Structure 1
Amino acid sequence: MSTEDVAVQEFWDELRKTTRARIGLGRAGTALSTHAVLELSTAHAAARDAVHEPLDVERLIADVRGCGLGEPTVVASQAASRAEYLRRPDLGRLPAESTSVSTGDHDIGVVLADGLSPLALARHGAPLLSALTDQLGSRYTLAPPVIATQARVALGDHIGERAGFRTVLVIIGERPGLSFADSLGIYLTHRPRPGRTDADRNCVSNIHPPDGLGYADAARITAGLLTGVLALGRSGVDVKDTSRMALDPGAAGPELLG
């Protein structure tokens, strides 16, 4: 390898430390190198597996019990299978006819949804819920959690309205990519009801330690957003995350827009 080639390789090696994107892959003739092609194929297979792998509901129930919020309820969407869930996103937003949830006077309800990565929920759902409980439990009343299968974000609006949650947090497996297949998102909706849109929600995404957002940081950001939501009386695009500011009860909340 020439001195120039070594310098180029060192440049790309250093730059790769700053991003998960595949950059400076090099080539073999007019194509990617065999090593790069195999890495891409492996990442694609992992993403497909994350989408199709069924959620181990019983194990998640056991893990969630340890968070101290009471016995979780398990519900399902109208999508009867994983294949139907992927073909019919609309059915994943609607509760099955048999869906029943307990009601109560709770400030916050948490729905743990498999979404497009059941793997992410299995790995990170319970520890993230524990971090949210630590961050929010002293300030708000938290309902026993709900576990939802074949679920899209909007399913939380139906569950939240039926259960009487003033605010619903939907923890859901995000669409896998070629860098990570186990990322979670938190969708916050104040006064949930059917018909809410993405503009009515706030999202904290890319939760997958150690490479993504950590559990404690995600809970802290969610708490900050909740402070702003309650001050404004609604969630969504009018609330801006300013998560670096102090979040104690006497501190100013996130910036309110509009």
Structure 2
Amino acid sequence: MSEPLATTPSDPTGTDPVPGFWDPLRTTTPSRIGLNRTGDAVTTRHLLEFRAAHAAARDAVHEPLDVPGLAAAVTAVGLGEPAVVTSRAAGRSEYLRRPDFGRRPASLEPLDPLPRGRDIGIVLADGLSARAMAEHGAPLLQALVDAFAGRWSVAPPVIATQARVALGDHIGTALGVGTLLVIIGERPGLSVADSLGIYLTQAPRVGLTDADRNCISNIHPPGGLGYAEAARVTVGLVEGARALGRSGVTLKDTSRPALDGNARSALD
């Protein structure tokens, strides 16, 4: 049995023991693979990069959402001035300790001025990464509006703070929308701290579970899914959900072309 490749303690620079071997693989993933070593430890550079990524993820979780800034950017999209709803979580610390508080609104009175019964309602929620919402929320909303191309009536957006996905069920029910889209900051990782997800729920009502929703995740160009592609997939799911009258495990993404026989065989 051969021993794993490693640099020797006499190699203080931690150079790659097999130069070029990992390079093609590193282009396919942001994961930390094939890290160089110095003796039995990773190099100082890799260690500092890891600590910086960990700090960025922590900052993304704890950083509050700039609501006025997001509201101005959302208003510029042209769907109307957004309402702002907060969950029962009093602050970021309680939000992290009590996920159940993040699923329930403190009050729905801010929704009173908004029209009811539109085809689509959109909630922009800070979730676990306010940074993701601040960076990508308004551009993604614009891409969705462009992709909808006037096919459905869209309610003015709602900004939700200290929010979990299920908070959208309360908002969608109050607004009486047919299809609800919750755009939310996803849990940061050590590779990406600014990723958004879109959760689609047909006929939203309080008490639904994740099995009743469809999710499009990893939206963070340029490294992740782009705005236009995410919007295209969303349109396909909205069409399917409205045709079926439901969303969740019974609704499949049909926006991508079916694999031909050769491609299917390659995956088997």
TM-score (norm 1): 0.91
Deviation at 1:104, TM superposition (A): 1.4
Q: 2-side partners of 1:139 and 1:108: how far apart?
A: 10
Partner of 2:164: 152
Partner of 1:120: 132
Deviation at 1:98, TM superposition (A): 5.6
Larger Rg: 2
Question: Does residue 193 in structure 1 map to residue 205 in structure 2?
Answer: yes
Do the aligned residues in 1 keep the contact of 2:180 with 2:202 (CA within 8 Å)? yes
Secondary structure of 1:100 counterpart: helix
In structure 2, runs of 5+ residues without a counterpart are: 1-10, 259-268
Q: 2-side partners of 1:137 and 1:69: how far apart?
A: 13
Partner of 1:22: 32
Q: 2-side partners of 1:98 and 1:198: how far apart?
A: 22
Q: 1-side partners of 2:210 and 2:74: how far apart?
A: 27
Deviation at 1:226, TM superposition (A): 1.0
Partner of 2:152: 140
Q: 2-side partners of 1:150 and 1:108: how far apart?
A: 22
Partner of 1:219: 231
Deviation at 1:34, TM superposition (A): 1.1
Q: 1-side partners of 2:108 and 2:232: how far apart?
A: 35
What is the one-letter code of the residue matched to 2:127?
G
The counterpart of 1:10, out of the listed 8, 12, 20, is: 20
Deviation at 1:14, TM superposition (A): 2.4
How do 1:5-154 and structure 2 match up within 5 A?
8-97=18-107, 99-101=109-111, 102-154=114-166
Question: Does residue 175 in structure 1 map to residue 187 in structure 2?
Answer: yes
Q: How many residue pairs get matched?
A: 243
Do the aligned residues in 1 keep the contact of 2:197 with 2:219 (CA within 8 Å)? yes
Question: Does residue 184 in structure 1 map to residue 196 in structure 2?
Answer: yes
Q: State the superposition RMSD in angstroms.
A: 1.5
Q: 1-side partners of 2:193 and 2:238: how far apart?
A: 28
What is the one-letter code of the residue matched to 2:122?
V
Secondary structure of 2:222 counterpart: coil
Do the aligned residues in 2 keep the contact of 1:103 with 1:162 (CA within 8 Å)? no
TM-score (norm 2): 0.87
Q: 1-side partners of 2:109 and 2:161: how far apart?
A: 12
Partner of 1:230: 242
Q: 1-side partners of 2:38 and 2:104: how far apart?
A: 49
The counterpart of 2:175, out of the listed 155, 163, 173, is: 163
